[in-house]
Amino acid sequence: MSFEAIGAESSQENKSLVSKATEYFNLIKESPIGTLATHATLFAVGVVAIKSGAAELLVPQL
């Protein structure tokens, strides 16, 4: 399974963007309110992706 960052121009940039996003969410979830913030952020991203028709770009490619 692999993930691709939208707008990444190279494989290395893709890995860097995905790594930074993962690190960001790991830091947030450590705080008490972080879990709620993480869920709200992921929900908002999901809503935008579905409404814009970009959901197929965010789903892991099997």
Q: What pLDDT score was predicted for residue 57?
A: 64
Cα 4 to Cα 17: distance, rounded to the nearest angstrom: 9
**pLDDT per position as a tens digit, 21-56:** 788 777 777 777 777 777 788 888 777 767 776 666
pLDDT of residue 51: 73
H helix runs in the chain, sequence order: 11-28, 34-52, 55-58
Query: Side-chain half-sphere of 2: how many Cα atoms within 13 Å?
Result: 6
Query: Domain ranges in the chain?
Result: 11-58
